[in-house]
Amino acid sequence: MHLGRSLCISVLFASSPAFAGEDFIEGVYLQSEDLCAQARKDSLQTLIDAGNIMLSSRGLQGVEYNCEFVQVTKAKTAPSWAVTAICQEPGYVFPDVLSVTRVNQTQVDLVSVRPAEDEGESVSNSGSYYLCDGVALP
Protein backbone atom coordinates (compact mmCIF):
# COMPACT_ATOMS: atom_id res chain seq x y z
CA MET A 1 0.00 0.00 0.00
CA HIS A 2 2.76 2.48 0.91
CA LEU A 3 4.69 1.66 -2.28
CA GLY A 4 1.64 2.54 -4.38
CA ARG A 5 1.27 5.94 -2.70
CA SER A 6 4.98 6.69 -3.06
CA LEU A 7 4.89 5.80 -6.74
CA CYS A 8 1.83 7.98 -7.32
CA ILE A 9 3.41 10.96 -5.53
CA SER A 10 6.68 10.45 -7.45
CA VAL A 11 4.83 10.49 -10.76
CA LEU A 12 3.01 13.69 -9.80
CA PHE A 13 6.26 15.45 -8.85
CA ALA A 14 8.07 14.25 -11.98
CA SER A 15 5.31 15.47 -14.28
CA SER A 16 4.99 18.93 -12.72
CA PRO A 17 7.02 21.70 -14.41
CA ALA A 18 7.64 23.45 -11.10
CA PHE A 19 9.27 20.37 -9.59
CA ALA A 20 10.97 19.04 -12.71
CA GLY A 21 12.84 22.32 -13.22
CA GLU A 22 15.29 22.32 -10.33
CA ASP A 23 15.68 25.91 -9.06
CA PHE A 24 13.38 27.08 -11.86
CA ILE A 25 12.12 30.65 -11.90
CA GLU A 26 9.71 31.82 -9.21
CA GLY A 27 7.45 34.83 -9.18
CA VAL A 28 6.07 37.11 -11.88
CA TYR A 29 8.22 38.42 -14.74
CA LEU A 30 7.39 41.17 -17.25
CA GLN A 31 9.28 42.53 -20.25
CA SER A 32 10.67 45.64 -18.50
CA GLU A 33 11.29 46.99 -15.03
CA ASP A 34 8.94 49.89 -15.90
CA LEU A 35 6.13 47.37 -16.50
CA CYS A 36 6.87 45.83 -13.09
CA ALA A 37 6.50 49.26 -11.46
CA GLN A 38 3.24 49.80 -13.35
CA ALA A 39 1.94 46.37 -12.24
CA ARG A 40 2.63 47.29 -8.60
CA LYS A 41 0.85 50.63 -9.09
CA ASP A 42 -2.15 49.48 -11.15
CA SER A 43 -2.49 45.70 -11.34
CA LEU A 44 -0.95 42.80 -13.20
CA GLN A 45 -4.29 42.02 -14.84
CA THR A 46 -4.47 45.59 -16.20
CA LEU A 47 -1.10 45.09 -17.91
CA ILE A 48 -2.09 41.71 -19.33
CA ASP A 49 -5.37 43.20 -20.60
CA ALA A 50 -3.31 45.94 -22.31
CA GLY A 51 -1.48 43.31 -24.37
CA ASN A 52 1.62 42.58 -22.29
CA ILE A 53 2.94 39.06 -21.78
CA MET A 54 3.63 37.73 -18.27
CA LEU A 55 6.12 34.96 -17.53
CA SER A 56 5.90 32.62 -14.52
CA SER A 57 6.94 29.06 -13.77
CA ARG A 58 3.63 27.98 -15.32
CA GLY A 59 4.39 29.61 -18.68
CA LEU A 60 3.62 32.73 -20.69
CA GLN A 61 0.25 34.45 -20.36
CA GLY A 62 -1.32 37.19 -22.44
CA VAL A 63 -4.80 38.40 -23.23
CA GLU A 64 -5.56 35.93 -26.06
CA TYR A 65 -2.30 34.03 -25.91
CA ASN A 66 -0.68 31.54 -23.58
CA CYS A 67 2.08 28.94 -23.49
CA GLU A 68 1.81 26.28 -20.82
CA PHE A 69 5.19 24.85 -19.74
CA VAL A 70 4.71 21.09 -19.79
CA GLN A 71 8.32 19.93 -19.23
CA VAL A 72 11.28 21.75 -17.68
CA THR A 73 14.81 20.30 -17.70
CA LYS A 74 17.75 21.95 -15.90
CA ALA A 75 21.06 22.25 -17.76
CA LYS A 76 23.97 20.62 -15.97
CA THR A 77 26.49 23.48 -16.16
CA ALA A 78 24.62 26.61 -17.26
CA PRO A 79 22.02 28.61 -15.31
CA SER A 80 19.50 27.52 -17.95
CA TRP A 81 16.55 25.24 -18.55
CA ALA A 82 15.12 23.61 -21.67
CA VAL A 83 11.35 24.04 -21.67
CA THR A 84 8.71 22.28 -23.75
CA ALA A 85 5.50 24.28 -24.08
CA ILE A 86 2.07 24.01 -25.65
CA CYS A 87 1.00 27.43 -26.90
CA GLN A 88 -2.44 28.70 -27.89
CA GLU A 89 -3.83 31.73 -29.60
CA PRO A 90 -7.31 32.10 -31.10
CA GLY A 91 -7.82 29.27 -33.59
CA TYR A 92 -4.26 27.91 -33.34
CA VAL A 93 -2.42 25.51 -31.01
CA PHE A 94 1.29 24.75 -31.48
CA PRO A 95 4.27 23.31 -29.60
CA ASP A 96 7.36 25.33 -28.75
CA VAL A 97 10.74 24.60 -27.22
CA LEU A 98 12.48 27.40 -25.34
CA SER A 99 15.64 28.00 -23.41
CA VAL A 100 15.26 30.00 -20.23
CA THR A 101 18.54 31.45 -18.97
CA ARG A 102 19.02 33.30 -15.71
CA VAL A 103 21.06 36.43 -16.55
CA ASN A 104 21.08 37.66 -12.94
CA GLN A 105 18.80 37.54 -9.88
CA THR A 106 16.13 39.69 -11.54
CA GLN A 107 16.43 38.94 -15.27
CA VAL A 108 15.89 35.87 -17.44
CA ASP A 109 16.22 35.56 -21.20
CA LEU A 110 13.97 33.32 -23.30
CA VAL A 111 14.90 32.01 -26.72
CA SER A 112 12.32 30.11 -28.77
CA VAL A 113 12.92 27.65 -31.59
CA ARG A 114 9.68 28.91 -33.14
CA PRO A 115 10.63 30.89 -36.24
CA ALA A 116 9.22 34.39 -36.56
CA GLU A 117 6.80 34.39 -39.48
CA ASP A 118 7.54 38.01 -40.29
CA GLU A 119 8.97 41.09 -38.63
CA GLY A 120 5.52 42.35 -37.74
CA GLU A 121 4.59 39.28 -35.71
CA SER A 122 2.71 40.45 -32.63
CA VAL A 123 3.63 37.61 -30.25
CA SER A 124 7.15 36.28 -29.85
CA ASN A 125 8.27 33.82 -27.18
CA SER A 126 11.83 35.20 -27.17
CA GLY A 127 13.09 38.15 -25.14
CA SER A 128 14.18 39.38 -21.74
CA TYR A 129 11.90 39.28 -18.71
CA TYR A 130 12.39 40.99 -15.34
CA LEU A 131 11.32 39.76 -11.90
CA CYS A 132 8.54 41.91 -10.44
CA ASP A 133 8.95 41.93 -6.65
CA GLY A 134 5.66 42.55 -4.87
CA VAL A 135 3.51 41.41 -7.82
CA ALA A 136 1.47 38.24 -7.35
CA LEU A 137 0.04 35.87 -9.96
CA PRO A 138 -3.58 36.62 -10.85
Instruction: State pLDDT tens for residues 112-126.
Output: 987 666 555 555 789
In a domain, 15, yes or no: yes
**What Å distances lie between residue 110 and 41, 46, 60, 126, 133, CA to CA?**
26, 23, 11, 5, 19
Residues 16-58: tens digit of each pLDDT: 444 444 689 999 999 999 999 999 999 999 999 999 999 999 9
For residue 99, give its domain range: 2-131
In a domain, 137, yes or no: no
The per-residue pLDDT for 14 is 42
Q: Residue 14 domain-assigned?
A: yes
pLDDT of residue 134: 92
> pLDDT at position 125, please?
85
Is 50 exceeded by the pLDDT of residue 99? yes
Whole-prediction pTM = 0.79
Q: Is residue 97 part of a domain?
A: yes
Cite the beta strand spans of 1-138 per DSSP E: 29-30, 54-56, 59-61, 66-74, 80-89, 92-104, 107-112, 127-131
Report the domain count for the chain: 1
**pLDDT for 131:** 97
| In a domain? residue 138 | no
